[in-house]
Amino acid sequence: MRKYYLDNIKWAVVVIVVVYHVFYMYNAEGIPGVAGKITNLDVQYWDIYQYIVYPWFMMLLFMVSGISARLDLVRHTPGEFIRRRTRKYLVPSTIGLFAFQFLQGYVNVSLGGLFEREPDIPFFGKALICVISGIGALWYIQLLWLFSLLLVLVRRIEKDRLWKLCGMPGLPVLPVLIAMAVPVYWSGRILNTPVIVVYRFGLYFFVFLLGYFVLSHDQVIDVLKRRFLLPAAAAAVLGTMFCLRYFGENYADVPANRSVLFLGYGYFACLTIMGGMARFCDFSNRFTQWMSRRSFGLYVFHYLGISSVGLFVARTGVLPAPAVYLLSLFSGFAGAYILNEIISRIPGYRWAVLGIKSEKTLDSVFFTPDVCAGAQTSPDVNEKSPARISH
């Protein structure tokens, strides 16, 4: 049967990300590149939301992407798999920067005040900076494209032998999954880029492979469905300790993002959500279908609305802080949905910005080929679904 819970995880995480970016835009923790604190409060207690969701939502998306990659490779040749993922991941995150995302780059650079500090930068230099800064949320699909290439090489070597072993025949599944927290921790401490801290190659590639080799097995998910309360308890304890220890500090950078609390909480939260969603949310209705069809557009465009409010409204002080928060939230959703509806209808341009084939009909913009054909496997994360996610 189709794995509807994967679709529901994807769009639900994108919604969480949109809300996260609203709090992130006006955080009081001194994280740079945003509008910053707009209240007179000594402590913004609602900022705790960022600490609660940040350690796990990217890990979870890469896990789901690994499962989706397994389902995709079962149905396509390696060549078809790479071509599809190049169109859906690489094109929007490279060509799309010049076609549209330079606008996001301009807002990002303006929030950081670079052009005010360096007024002598030539026009070509400013334009290039805006293009590069426009990557924003698209770093996720850049990594996903790279991991897809590496996965094809790994799969050619292991020839499904490792995949079959990772189904854990005869082994206690839950203890093995708990023990996997150790390599997750060590992967989170390697191949991390400085300055641009979202590019965590070690951690995200490992959990991507974990999704592909382990969590793509139905018997593993069945165990998580029955016993997800155990990792939930571990996540609750570690998450509470993480928030108490690091609240007020930069949660997205060292030392917080490489700590045992961050990585342990993030991993067990992922297992909890995976099991809980598989148990309670493996269904489809009109609402979930609507959200799934538009979640990729929400992912690509949401930050432009939020950051534009931060730049052009919040810094002027014309509205009180609660109104700015609400306007940012509304702009994130409404702006993304409107842009998605418009751009997805423009032949050629939609290919550059959203990775949609120009020859597709309007219906297939919102329905993946798998959905239209009534396929029994889940489409991969970016056909019109997932997410994120920029900090």
- Rounded CA-CA distance 145/291 in Å is 24
Q: What is the DSSP letter of 258?
A: G
Whether 210 has a pLDDT exceeding 60, the answer reads: yes
Q: Is 236 helix (H, G, I), strand (E, B) or coil?
A: helix
Confidence tier at 369 by pLDDT (50, 70, 90) = very low
257-313 pLDDT tens trace: 999 999 999 999 999 999 999 999 999 999 999 999 999 999 999 999 999 999 999
CB 93 within 8 A of CB 145: yes
Average pLDDT (243-256) is 94
- Rounded CA-CA distance 6/9 in Å is 5
pTM above 0.85, yes or no: yes
126-175 pLDDT tens trace: 999 999 999 999 999 999 999 999 999 999 999 999 999 999 888 899 99
> Whose CA is closest to 329, among 46, 43, 28, 121?
46
Q: What is the DSSP letter of 90?
A: I
Mean pLDDT of all residues belonging to the chain: 90
Q: Is 200 helix (H, G, I), strand (E, B) or coil?
A: strand
pLDDT at 367: 31
Whether 390 has a pLDDT exceeding 50, the answer reads: no
Whether 365 has a pLDDT exceeding 50, the answer reads: no
Whether 386 has a pLDDT exceeding 70, the answer reads: no
What residue spans of 41-160 are helical by DSSP H?
48-75, 78-85, 91-96, 102-112, 114-117, 123-133, 139-158
Whether 62 has a pLDDT exceeding 70, the answer reads: yes
Confidence tier at 1 by pLDDT (50, 70, 90) = low
Confidence tier at 336 by pLDDT (50, 70, 90) = very high
Q: Compare 357 and 179 and report the one with higher pLDDT.
A: 179
